[in-house]
Every structure is written in structure tokens, then in C-alpha cells.
Chain A
Amino acid sequence: MSNTKGGAVPLLAARDLVKAHGRTEALRGASVELRAGEILAVTGASGSGKSTLLHCLAGIVRPDTGSVTYAGERLDRLPEKRLSELRRTEFGVVFQFGQLIPELTALDNVALPLLLAGVRRQEAWERAGEWLERFGVRGQQELRPGEMSGGQAQRTALARALVTGPKVVFADEPTGALDSLASEQVMTALTHTAREAGTAVLLITHDAQVAAYADREVRLADGTVAPLEVAA
């Protein structure tokens, strides 16, 4: 089934993905497309294959069969070196628990991807500070992850995912551990910032209120894309 509207060329496309973990097939022929600048929610019950789909699309795991195309390149066939370069420069990733480095301050956590990309220290700190400001956590920049609230840590993780100016941000249940108000702050910050920057977002969630921040929804059921709309 095609999820394309208006015939625009997708930035990222998965076709007929099959991926098994041992004898369990997590994906059984899933196809999905993400257009440039689009915020797409992937929803579905636990075990429907949402996270495996994200891992395949982000080039973290390779599908058993099927294809993943990013900006015209077959991601599933790229050598590991080129893949990790893509992940560092074009993709940003946020998980349920931000996975910030506990020993580093918020500012250093956000500056880290820039330092790894060869940006000079002073400039990296300045840019990191600007991104923390956008996410409303500038005042917490000297705190370490253990000293922040869950919402502050997630907004710091989002700043880190966006600081390098990626084309796509992959967010796997980014509000899964937050209460509803903290979740709202994180989602508002993410969607406003992504829309301003023109960054596409692939958002995995089981929460309809979180999915409602996206432009569009794709539902997974048993490793395939479930039909969403019925012709009127």
C-alpha cells in the first residue's frame, strides 16, 4: 500500500521490509514513506514492529529483505562506514530515555556531536547554548542528566539530536516516561523546532495524543502497515 500523497519524491522510503529477531518476524512486508520536512507518526500496539521499523529506517539494523532508500541511496546496501557517517551528519535520534552521557553537563552533551564533527570548542558551546535556549533548558545547561527532571533531560536530548542540523530526526517514544504536561512541552518544542528548521521527524508512539502532533499517521499491525482510511 502506498502512503504517498501528491506525488512528491520521498526523502526516506521503506519497501516491503521483512526483519526477524530469531524466529519472530517483527516486520512482515512493511512499506512507509517520509517526505522532506514532514512529521510522521508511526503508531501501533506493543510488538507491532514500530521500533524495528525505526531501526531499519535509521540504518541502525539492516532488513532481511526489502529496501530502504534515503535521498536516492540504498541505505540497506551501504557499507558500515558510510552508514555511520550518514547517521552522524544527516540523522538525529532520540529514545524514550534520552541516553545523555551522565558524566557530562547538558551543555557538553549537546556540544558533543558538533565536537565529533570537528567544530571548534568555543563555537560548539555557543551553538549548543542556542539550541538549549530553543528548547527552554538554557537555565539548566550546567546540570548533569541525573540532576534534571525527565522533561528537561528529554528536551536536552532533542537539542542534541537537532544541533547538527539533521534532515531527519527519529524519535522512539520520546515522551514514554513523562507525565502529560512534560510530554506536551517536549512535543511542542520538537514539532515547532522541526517545522522551523524543515527537519523531517519519524515519531514512534503508542499514544494518540502524541501522534496528533504529527502531520500524518501510519499504523502498524503485526509487522505490516494497516489500512488507515476507507474510501469515502
Chain B
Amino acid sequence: MIGMSTRHILLGLLATGPSHGYDLKRRHDERFPQARPLAYGQVYTTLQRLVRDGLAEVDGIDSDGGPERTMYRSTKDGARELAAWAGEIAPPAPFVTNEIFAKVVVSILSGGDPEAYLRAQRAAHMTRMRELTAVKTARGTDLATVLSADYALNHLDADLRWMTTTAARLTTLTAEVDAG
């Protein structure tokens, strides 16, 4: 995910109380079900960096009958950093480097069949949107999954609207070329 900061997400999860790496990974994957699952290595590296930067600290060792696990907690600096990040606006991305856009432009330039590509891409987008809608509207779906599916659906929908407009522009363009 563009702009997703593992560092800040872990700080956010620690804001609810001390936790260990395994638990943080599990809670991350539950909260962000559509995101790529976090690798353990990435969780531990990020936690070490948070400690190094004074944003988190070790809160003792938890064994609780099982393997020993290092517990971490957020510091005051960590809480300040999290609040600053959460309130900071994300740059409204122009997304002009998007692969779909690039393929259509290249296809036009190289005399390909952009309309056939757009049709196939539309079908693929709709299939994904149907899957996301089924996940979102299943009974008992939790809020994090609904919000995540909404986010993905709205972005796919924006792609689709652009593809529909582009297909219409291509038709007009072809008609103008033929008439000329």
C-alpha cells in the first residue's frame, strides 16, 4: 500500500497497551485484512528502530507458560509522533504513473488495440469489485474489513470511470480520424 507506514501502524497498535511482536503482527493482519500480511522479520526490525529512536521501549519479558517474548510499549515521544502522523494530510496523489494509464497511452502510441485492453481490464476490475462486495456485505463482517473493502471499491470505481471515459474518447477520436 502506498504511503502505509509500518512504523506508525505498530505505534498505533501499541497505543492500546504493551504488546509483543507476535501479537502486533496478528493484530495488524486482522485490522488490515486487505493489506499484505506483515512479515515477522519486518515487525521485529521496526520495533528495534522504534526503541532506537526513543518512540517505544521494552516493557519486560512475558513468558506466561509459553516461549519468552519481549514486550514493548509506546513512549511519550511515540504518542506525540503518532498524533503528528495521524493528523498530517497525505499528498493528494495524481496517480498518473498508474499501470492502466501507461498501458493505454503506450497502446495508442504503438498502434495497438486499447479498446480491447480496456474491455478486458474492466471485466477484471468488476470481478474484483464483486469479490470485495461479497466480503463487505457478508453477515457479521467487522468494521475494519468493511472500511478496507470500501476503500478498495472506491478506488477501483474511480479507475473504471476513467476507463469508461477513455473508451468513449477513443471512439470519438476514431470517428474523427475516419471522417477526416
Contacts and interface: CB of A to CB of B under 8 A. Distances in A.
Contacts of B123: 228-230
Contact count band on B: 20 to 34
B116 interface: yes
Of residues A188, A208, A212, which shows the largest number of chain B Cβ atoms within 10 Å of its Cβ? A212
- Dominant secondary structure at the B interface: helix
B126 A209 contact: no
A184 B133 CA distance: 10
B119 interface: yes
B116 A191 contact: no
Interface string B137-180: 10000000000000001101100110010001000000000000
A208 B116 CA distance: 19
A229 B133 contact: no
Contact count band on A: 10 to 19
A231 to B, nearest CB: 9
B137 A208 contact: no
A217 interface: yes
Given A208-B157, A230-B119, A214 B130 contact: yes
A188 B133 CA distance: 9
Of residues A45, A214, A217, which shows the largest number of chain B Cβ atoms within 10 Å of its Cβ? A217
A184 B154 CA distance: 13
A102 interface: no
A48 to B, nearest CB: 11
Contact of A209 (B120, B122, B153, B164): B153
Interface in A199-232: 208-209, 211-215, 217, 226-230
B13 interface: no
11 contacts: A45-B164, A187-B137, A209-B153, A212-B126, A212-B133, A212-B153, A213-B130, A213-B133, A213-B137, A229-B123, A230-B116
Q: Which 9 A-B pairs have the closest CB atoms?
A: A212-B129, A212-B133, A230-B120, A208-B160, A188-B137, A229-B123, A212-B130, A208-B157, A209-B157
